[in-house]
Amino acid sequence: MFRFRFQTVLDQKRTERDQIALELWRANEQLLHLNRNLQDSEEVKSKHLRQLAEATKPGVMELTALLHHRQVIAETTKSIADIHQEIVRVNQSVSELKSQLVEAERAVKTFEKLEEKHRKEFEADAQRKEQHRLDEVAAHQSQQKRAA
C-alpha cells in the first residue's frame, strides 16, 4: 500500500493555505462592511448638509438646529476619515494575504506533484514486481511440464 512519506507536511501546507484563505475571506468581508459604513456616513453627512443649507436660508433661523447639523457634519466627517484609514489598512492586509495565499498554494502544489510522482513510482515498482512474480510462476510451470 502506498504511503506518501511527506503526507504530514502536505497536510500542514493545506491547513496553512486554508487558514490564509479564510483570513482573506474575512478581510474581504470587513472591506464590504467598511464600504457600507462609509456609504451610510456619506449619506448622513449629505442629508445634514442639505438640512443645514435649508436652515440657513433667510427667514427663521433656529440656532439649535444649526448647531445640531454642524455637530453631526463634523462627527460624520471624522467618521468618514477614520473609515478611509481603516479601508487603506484592510486593503494592505488583503494584498499581503493574497501574496501569502499564492505562496501557500504553490507549496501545496509542489508537494502534491511530489506525491503524484512517488505514487507513480510506487505503482510502477509494484507492477514490475508482479510481472517478475508472474514470470517466475510461468517459468516454474514450464519446467514442470518439461520434467513430466
Confidence of residue 60 (pLDDT cuts 50, 70, 90): low
pLDDT tens, residue by residue, 6-58: 999 999 999 999 999 999 999 999 999 999 999 999 999 999 999 988 888 87
138 found inside a domain: no
Question: What distance in Å separates the CA atoms of residue 85 and residue 134, rounded to the nearest whole number?
Answer: 73
Question: What distance in Å separates the CA atoms of residue 129 and residue 133, rounded to the nearest whole number?
Answer: 6
48 found inside a domain: yes
131 found inside a domain: no
Dihedrals phi, psi of 114, to nearest 5 degrees: -65, -40
Residues spanned by the domain of 61: 7-114
17 found inside a domain: yes
Confidence of residue 59 (pLDDT cuts 50, 70, 90): confident
CA end-to-end distance (rounded Å), the chain: 39
pLDDT tens, residue by residue, 122-141: 999 999 999 999 999 999 99
Listing DSSP states for 69-113 in one string gives HHHHHHHHHHHHHHHHHHHHHHHHHHHHHHHHHHHHHHHHHHHHH
Report yes or no: 29 and 47 within 8 Å, Cβ to Cβ: no
Average pLDDT of the segment spanning 109-114: 98
pLDDT tens, residue by residue, 66-105: 899 999 999 999 999 999 999 999 999 999 999 999 999 9
| The pLDDT of residue 87 | 98
- Counting the structural domains of the chain, the total is 1
127 found inside a domain: no
16 found inside a domain: yes
Report yes or no: 109 and 13 within 8 Å, Cβ to Cβ: no
Q: Which long-range contacts (CB under 8 A, 24 or more apart) does 116-124 make?
A: 118/2, 118/4, 118/5, 119/2, 119/4, 122/2, 123/2
96 found inside a domain: yes
When the pLDDT of each residue in the chain is averaged and rounded to a whole number, the result is 95
23 found inside a domain: yes
Report yes or no: 31 and 148 within 8 Å, Cβ to Cβ: no
Q: What is the pTM of this model?
A: 0.77
Domain CATH for 30: 1.10.287
